[in-house]
Amino acid sequence: MQFNLSLSASQLFRSVRLFEHLTPEELTAVVRAAQPRRLAAGELLFAKSGPGDGMFIVERGELSVTTEGAHGEHLTLAYLGNGAFVGEMSLLDGAPRSASVEAVAARAKPRSATRRANSSCRCGGSDVALLEHTSDAA
């Protein structure tokens, strides 16, 4: 599914500490290499132990970060909203994903989160809009 990058794509990437010291030209190259992506509620972005070949910035919506506990129980580690990013650790160190991430159903208000969620999430709509930057992006 194709959709246009928002005018705030540069701002989203600039808000990620990994990119905050790039020159305007470098940032433009990173933003141009980003691919828009949408997920339906409940759709898996990536699974724990999968390859870490890209990072994602939430443009609109909410993601949940989950893992399995020591006894197989489902543990929610965080809810990530607008402007949050995920997947950068595996992209940088090449290790498998340390948790699973999936799109959360739209809600009127954002959840309180344990890590990095942006409290300005306007979670309207039925999907999550992301910007994806992969390790093989130019």
d(CA 74, CA 57): 24
pLDDT of residue 2: 36
Show the domain range for 22.
9-134
> pLDDT digit string (tens) for 53-90?
888 999 889 999 999 999 999 999 999 998 898 998 88
| Distance linking the first and last C-alpha atoms of the chain | 21
Instruction: Please report the pLDDT score of residue 125 as a whole number.
Output: 52
Give the CATH number of the domain where residue 113 resides. Answer: 2.60.120.10
Identify the CA nearest to 60 among candidates 123, 138, 136, 5.
123
Q: pLDDT at position 73, please?
A: 95
Segment 5-28 mean pLDDT: 80
Q: How many domains does the chain have?
A: 1
Q: What pTM was estimated for this model as a whole?
A: 0.75
Angle, vertex CA 131, rays to CA 58 and CA 23, nearest 5: 105
Q: Is residue 43 in a domain?
A: yes
Whether residue 125 lies inside any domain: the answer is: yes
- Render pLDDT for 89-138 as a digit per residue (tens, 0 to 9): 887 888 999 999 999 976 544 444 444 343 333 344 557 888 887 766 54
Q: Which of 74, 96, 89 is nearest to 16 (CA)?
A: 89
Strand partners, 67: 75
27 sits in which H/E element: helix 24-33
